[in-house]
A and B are shown apart, each in its own frame.
Chain A
Amino acid sequence: MIDFRKHKILICAGSGGVGKTTVAASLGVAAAQRGLKVLVLTIDPARRLANALGLGSGDIFEATQVPGQSFSGELSAMMVEPQAVFDDFIRRSAPNKSVTEKLLSNTLYKQLSTTLSGSQEFTSLELLLTAHQSGKYDLIVLDTPPAQHAIDFLKSPEKIYSLFQRSITQWFIRSGGEGQGFFKKVFNKGTRLALDALEKITGEGFISELSGFFENMAELQKTVSERSLMVHQLLSAQETAFVLVTAIDEAKLSEAGLFNEDLKKTGARLSYLIVNRAFPQWAVPVSEEGLSDQSRRVAKKINEFYEKVKSYYDKKDKYVIQLMELLGADLPVYQAPELDVEVVGVEGLEVLAQLIQPYKGVKDE
Chain B
Amino acid sequence: MVFGARKEARISSQKIHLVTGKGGVGKSTVAAALALKCSKVNGKTLLVELGDRGFYSHVWGRAFGFKEVQVDSQLWVARWSGEDSLREYVGHLIRVQRLVDLIFENRIMKALVRAAPALNELAILGKLTSGIRKIGPAFDFENVIVDAYATGHFKALINAPKGMSEAIPRGPMGDQSRAMAEILRDSKRVKIYVVALPEELPVNESMELADSLERGLGQTPKFILNKCLDPGVSESGLQELLKEKQDSRLSSYLVKGMKQQREFAQVFQQSSRTTVLNHLWLPTSVELYRQLSLKIPEDFCD
Contacts and interface: CB of A to CB of B under 8 A. Distances in A.
B111 A167 contact: yes
Interface string B92-115: 011000010011001111011011
B190 interface: no
A203 B173 contact: yes
A137 interface: no
B246 to A, nearest CB: 11
Interface in A169-212: 171, 190-191, 193-194, 197-198, 200-206, 209-210
Interface in A325-360: 340, 342
Most buried by A among B58, B121, B164, B231: B231
Contacts of B55: 251
B159 A298 contact: no
Contacts of A340: 249, 252-253, 256
Interface residues on B, range: 35 or more
Interface stretch (A88-96, A121-129, A305-313): A305-313
A84 interface: no
A286 B250 contact: yes
B24 A18 contact: yes
Contact of B53 (A108, A149, A210): A149
Contacts of B90: 197, 201
A165 B107 CA distance: 12
Contact of B103 (A107, A198, A297): A198
Nearest to A296: B241
Most B CB contacts (10 A, CB to CB) among A112, A159, A251, A316 go to A112
Contact of B24 (A16, A284, A287): A16
A162 B115 contact: yes
Contacts of B218: none
Could you say which of B24, B93, B160, B172 has the most chain A C-beta atoms within 10 Å of its C-beta? B24
Nearest to A289: B245
A190 B284 contact: no
Interface residues of A, number: 77
Contacts of B268: none
Nearest to B117: A112
A15 interface: yes
B4 interface: no
Contact of B284 (A116, A197, A250, A308): A250
B253 A283 contact: yes
A93 to B, nearest CB: 18
Nearest to B173: A202
Given A194-B109, A203-B173, A301-B233, A312 B281 contact: yes
Given A168-B112, A197-B90, A298-B237, 12 more contacts: A15-B24, A107-B168, A112-B163, A146-B23, A162-B115, A167-B108, A280-B253, A282-B249, A284-B250, A291-B245, A306-B250, A340-B252
